[in-house]
C-alpha cells in the first residue's frame, strides 16, 4: 500500500501522513538507548514509505538527533527532517527557553548533530512565557532567511499564541498531542489549523501505547519510564482506558484491522493531519501500511464517541508532560 501524503507549506517534497517519532530513540524516559536498533528503525521507516522524521534536542539530551543524523547521512535528500527548539536542560531537568540567543545556539548544535546544512521543519517545542513571542518569531524567521530552515512550526501553542507568532513569521505546521483519548485540540487548535491552512503533526496518536492493543491490567512500567508519572496508567483510570480499548477493538475487527491501525486512521481522518508513529525497534514499524487505503465512516466515528463517553468516567489529558518555565 502506497503511503498517503500531503504538502507542508514551504517544503517542496510531499510529506507522508505518518512520520517517525523519535523520542524513545533518545533513550531518556524510555529505558535507555539502543543505537543499533534505532538505526535499523530509521531504515525500516524509509522502506515502508515514511519520509518525515521528527526529533528534538531534548530527546536524550542530544542523543536522538545524533542517532538520526548518522542514520540519515546517505538518505538526507529522501526525507523531510523536522526537529525542535526552545527547551534547555540542566542536571537532567528540562525547562523552556526560547530567547533569540538560545535559538541561535540551538540551531547550530542541531545542524551539527543531524549532519545537515538545513532543517526542513523547525518547531518551537513549547511556548516560553518568559520570552516575548515576537523575539522568538523574529529569531526563527532570520533562520529561514539565512537558508538554515525551510519552514516553521509550533508545538503545544494555543490559537492566541499562534496568532501572535504569525504577526512576525509564517507558520506551516503545528504539533499538538492528539489521539482518541486526548482530544482537547478539537475545539481550538484543530479548527484553527483548518482555517489557516496549517498541517497538524499529531503527537502521541497511540497515547503512549494505550491504543496499541497490546497492554493489559498486568502491564507494568519500570525505571525512568514516563508512564510511571502518567495519570492514565494509574488505577482506577488505567482500567477505564483498557476497557475502552477492548470495546474499540470490535470496530477495528469490523474493518479487518488492528487496534493500532484504527487509532492512527482515526487521527488521519480528523483533518489535515500527520500522525507521529513512535518507534525505537524496526519491528515497531510493522503495521504502518495497514493504516492507509481506507477510512472510518460517520457511523464508526459515532460509535467511537459513544464508547469513550461510556467507558471513561474520569478522563485526563497529557498535561503532566508540560515542562516548567526557566527559573
Return the active site residues: 59
d(CA 19, CA 267): 13
Comparing C-alpha atoms, which of 200, 183, 202, 167 is closest to residue 277? 202
Residue whose C-alpha cell is 468516567: 313
CB of 158 closer than 8 Å to CB of 124: no
| 20 bridge partner residues | 53, 277
Contact assessment for residue 68 and residue 114, using Cβ atoms and an 8 Å cutoff? yes
Asked whether the beta carbons of 88 and 97 are under 8 A apart, the reply is yes
> What does the alpha-carbon distance between residue 315 and residue 84 come to, in Å, rounded to a whole number?
29
Surface-to-core class of residue 73, CB atoms within 10 Å of its CB (0-12 exposed, 13-18 middle, 19+ buried): exposed
Q: What is the dihedral of CA 89, 94, 95, 98, to 10 degrees?
A: 60
- Nearest in space to 123 (alpha carbons), one of 87, 147, 70: 87
Nearest residue to 94 via CA among 58, 57, 136: 58
| Beta pairing class for 15-16 and 5-6 | antiparallel
- Which residue do the cell numbers 546517505 mark? 74
Query: 166's torsion region: left (phi>0), alpha (psi -120 to 50) or beta?
Result: alpha
Amino acid at each position: 500500500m502506497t503511503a498517503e501524503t500531503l504538502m507542508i507549506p514551504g517544503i517542496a517534497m510531499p510529506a507522508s501522513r505518518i512520520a517517525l517519532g523519535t523520542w524513545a530513540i533518545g533513550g531518556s524516559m524510555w529505558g535507555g538507548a539502543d543505537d543499533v536498533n534505532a538505526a535499523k528503525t530509521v531504515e525500516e521507516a524509509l522502506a515502508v514509505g515514511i519520509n518525515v522524521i521528527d526529533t528534538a534536542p531534548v530527546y536524550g539530551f542530544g542523543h536522538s538527533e545524533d542517532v538520526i543524523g548518522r542514520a540519515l547521512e546517505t538518505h538526507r535528500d529522501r526525507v523531510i527532517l523536522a526537529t525542535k527548539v526552545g527547551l534547555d536542560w540542566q542536571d537532567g531537568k528540562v525547562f523552556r527557553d526560547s530567547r533569540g540567543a538560545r535559538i541561535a545556539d540551538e540551531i547550530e548544535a542541531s545542524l551539527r548533530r543531524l549532519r545537515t546544512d538545513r532543517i526542513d521543519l523547525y518547531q518551537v517545542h513549547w511556548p516560553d512565557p518568559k520570552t516575548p513571542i515576537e523575539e522568538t518569531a523574529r529569531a526563527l524567521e532570520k533562520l529561514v532567511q539565512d537558508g538554515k530552515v525551510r519552514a516553521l512550526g509550533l508545538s503545544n501553542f494555543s490559537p492566541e499564541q499562534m496568532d501572535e507568532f504569525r504577526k512576525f513569521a509564517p507558520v506551516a505546521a503545528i504539533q499538538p498531542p492528539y489521539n482518541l483519548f486526548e482530544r482537547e485540540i478539537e475545539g481550538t487548535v484543530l479548527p484553527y489549523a483548518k482555517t489557516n491552512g496549517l498541517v497538524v503533526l499529531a503527537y502521541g496518536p497511540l497515547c503512549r501505547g494505550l491504543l496499541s492493543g497490546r497492554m493489559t491490567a498486568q502491564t507494568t512500567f519500570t525505571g525512568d519510564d514516563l508512564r510511571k508519572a502518567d495519570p492514565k496508567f494509574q488505577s482506577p483510570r488505567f482500567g477505564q482506558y483498557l476497557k475502552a480499548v477492548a470495546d474499540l477493538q470490535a470496530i477495528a475487527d469490523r474493518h479487518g484491522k488492528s487496534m493500532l491501525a484504527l487509532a492512527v486512521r482515526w487521527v488521519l481522518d480528523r483533518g489535515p493531519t500527520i500522525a507521529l508513529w513512535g518507534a525505537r525497534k524496526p519491528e515497531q514499524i510493522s503495521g504502518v501500511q495497514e493504516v492507509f487505503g481506507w477510512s472510518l465512516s460517520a457511523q464508526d466515528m459515532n460509535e467511537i464517541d459513544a464508547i469513550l463517553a461510556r467507558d471513561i468516567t474520569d478522563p485526563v489529558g497529557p498535561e503532566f508532560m508540560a515542562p516548567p518555565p526557566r527559573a
